[in-house]
Chain A
Amino acid sequence: MNSLLDPIVRLGRLTIGGIRHAGSMALFAVALAWVLIPAWSRPRDIAQQVYAAGVLSLVIILVAGGFVGLVLGLQGYNILSNFNASESLGVMVALSLVRELGPVVAALLFAGRAGSAITAEIALMKTTDQLAALEMMAVDPLRRVLAPRFWGAVISVPLLAALFSLVGIVGGYLIGVVVLGVDQASYWGQIREQMEAWEDVGGGAIKSLAFGAVIALISVYEGYRAEPTASGMARATTQTVVLSSLAVLGLDFVMTAFMFGA
């Protein structure tokens, strides 16, 4: 009897746990929203976080962007040349990157590289009473520690996504034009003619801004709410990467449906 009910009980427990988690994150988001603007009274803190989260993620983003561009160029050429359309390679690579792969892959990499680091740092500060010490010094940790890290991620992700796409397009150029002999003028010319500044570039930028905000919120929340133990910290960093990745992919579908759907 018990084993029959077990899956249902577990499902119920998971659902309730999930709802509680979402509710507590929503309350946290409201509390954080109050201090986001005041946090700009210390722009240096935010600049430091842009460096820690953004600049230090450059290598992985640029290398990954280059490889994705190379693969896109290679696969795209193989398919397009079947239809004698290999001169459209440029616009295919560019659109895939700017609309989808740039924002999504850059966000996923950012969550793994920087989001987990933000969570671990905040969780460790909590475990070693540094956040409590701030509170007792009459300094709000939300405003002083969490808000600058939130801004650091929100500012970094769109910039990293743009660089990812840029390097990817150059990668596609290298494989398509330099190696496989696609006409150079049509590679760049078709990109220029067929890409819309607002719809394509703007759409990608809005996406990556939204992804940045979601990753930033999850990262600081998981760190702040981490259990102050070794396993609690481990769970928090894992949770950040898993939740951020799922949130980015889910949000990407919804945003794509709205922006490019009909």
Chain B
Amino acid sequence: MSMTPDRTDMITLDGVHFARGKQVIFNNVDMRFPRGKVTVVLGPSGTGKTTLLRLIGGQLRPARGQLRVDGIEVARARSKALYALRRRMGVLFQNGALFTDLTVGENVAFPLRAHSRLDETLIRHIILFKLEAVGLRAARDRYPAELSGGMARRAALARAMALDPEVMLYDEPFAGQDPVSMGVLLRLIRRLNDALGLTSLVVTHDVSEALSIADHVIVLAGGGVIGQGSPDEIRVQRDAEPALAQFLDGAAEGPLSTNDEGRPLADELGLGRKILRESRGESQEEGQKESQKENPGGRR
């Protein structure tokens, strides 16, 4: 119950439970995000990776359990404290979420203008520095619609970094990126983390790319954590956990089902009875008699 910040972990989840309607997303999960490290959260689609980021940002509240960022319990924070906490976080959204009616430069300037009374010249210098860091200085007067997917992602990264956050949250940063853009982003995430002393949290399902920059890995599946540790520890854990092995190998067969659960296909097609009969070796005529018995009026 201590409220003092944990020295080793920036973000901690203890017994967190979260559900959307009847669908349980997190069932009593514990997670640790070490300070100053790049933590990668892996998991199949729909395991609540984006939900995790929204919980950390305080946009969603867990039903039970505690989620602390630098010792502050996010769900209990009042709006002022929550906003103060968010000012220390940068978020790179899955689709960039750039403001479409502002230029790239104005997008980066937006958080600075909203939260500081800095001189316009200084703001201009900060914009140039941030855009230089992501290699987009020349694109500062372009609108988001004029950028490629990779450039938009980097512009959004520059905006997320504008207020010099302590924590960076990346939501699927590699989705839909070509190999070169992906390489650039990977290097940026690692370099920014080390150069600025950030704590980074990367949510993704690109296993090999993510493992190449990770200090700490958390693998989610089926409402819980199925693996947690350094990349080497994860590789060791895979032997004991079939679901983890399936996910890391990208195997089609295994405990992680990609089909939604429901009635068997034969049932949905109304073939259950017929297939059952045929497998019993009954003749078709018998089957017809049976169906007449069931439906005496002959109406279909």
A contacts, CB < 8 Å to B: 128-130, 132-133, 135-140, 144
Contact = CB atoms under 8 A, between A and B. Distances in A.
Contacts, number: 44
26 contacts: A128-B95, A129-B93, A129-B95, A129-B97, A130-B98, A130-B100, A132-B59, A132-B93, A133-B93, A133-B97, A135-B59, A136-B57, A136-B59, A136-B86, A136-B89, A137-B87, A137-B110, A137-B111, A137-B114, A137-B115, A137-B163, A138-B87, A138-B111, A139-B114, A140-B83, A144-B114
Contacts of B57: 135-136
Interface residues of B, number: 20
A129 B94 CA distance: 9
Contacts of A130: 97-100
Q: What are the nearest 7 A-B pairs in CB distance?
A: A129-B97, A133-B97, A138-B83, A138-B86, A136-B91, A138-B87, A137-B111
B84 interface: yes
A144 B102 CA distance: 15
Given A128-B97, A129-B95, A135-B86, 11 more contacts: A128-B100, A132-B59, A132-B93, A133-B97, A135-B57, A136-B57, A136-B86, A136-B91, A137-B111, A137-B115, A140-B83
B174 to A, nearest CB: 17
Contact of A138 (B84, B95, B98, B100): B84
A140 B87 CA distance: 12
Interface string B69-111: 0000000000000011011010101110111100000000011
A33 to B, nearest CB: 16
A21 B95 CA distance: 30
Contacts of A129: 93-95, 97
A194 B91 CA distance: 64
Contacts of A135: 57, 59, 86
Contact of A133 (B83, B87, B91): B91
A140 B79 CA distance: 10
B113 to A, nearest CB: 10
A140 B86 CA distance: 12
A136 B156 CA distance: 13
A213 to B, nearest CB: 26
A174 to B, nearest CB: 41
A160 to B, nearest CB: 24
Contacts of A144: 114
A128 B101 CA distance: 13
A130 B94 CA distance: 11
A52 to B, nearest CB: 10
Contacts of A137: 86-87, 110-111, 114-115, 163
A130 B89 CA distance: 16
Nearest to A129: B97
A85 B114 CA distance: 63
A139 B115 CA distance: 9
A144 B83 CA distance: 14
A112 B254 CA distance: 54
Interface string B252-296: 000000000000000000000000000000000000000000000
Nearest to B110: A137
Contacts of B86: 135-138
A253 B114 CA distance: 44
Contacts of B111: 137-139
A35 to B, nearest CB: 12
B49 to A, nearest CB: 15
A30 B176 CA distance: 41
B272 to A, nearest CB: 26
A133 to B, nearest CB: 4
A132 B87 CA distance: 14
A142 B96 CA distance: 21
Contacts of B95: 128-129
Contacts of A133: 91, 93, 97, 99
Contacts of A128: 95, 97, 100
Contacts of A139: 111, 114
Nearest to A133: B97
Contacts of B83: 138, 140
A46 to B, nearest CB: 16
B100 to A, nearest CB: 7
A225 to B, nearest CB: 16
A140 B83 CA distance: 9
A137 B93 CA distance: 12
> Which residue, B84, B86, B94, has most C-beta atoms of chain A within 10 A?
B86
A57 B94 CA distance: 36
A147 B14 CA distance: 38
B115 A138 contact: yes
Nearest to B82: A138
B176 to A, nearest CB: 15
Contacts of A140: 83
Contacts of B93: 129, 132-133
B61 to A, nearest CB: 14
A130 B156 CA distance: 11
B55 to A, nearest CB: 13
A92 to B, nearest CB: 46
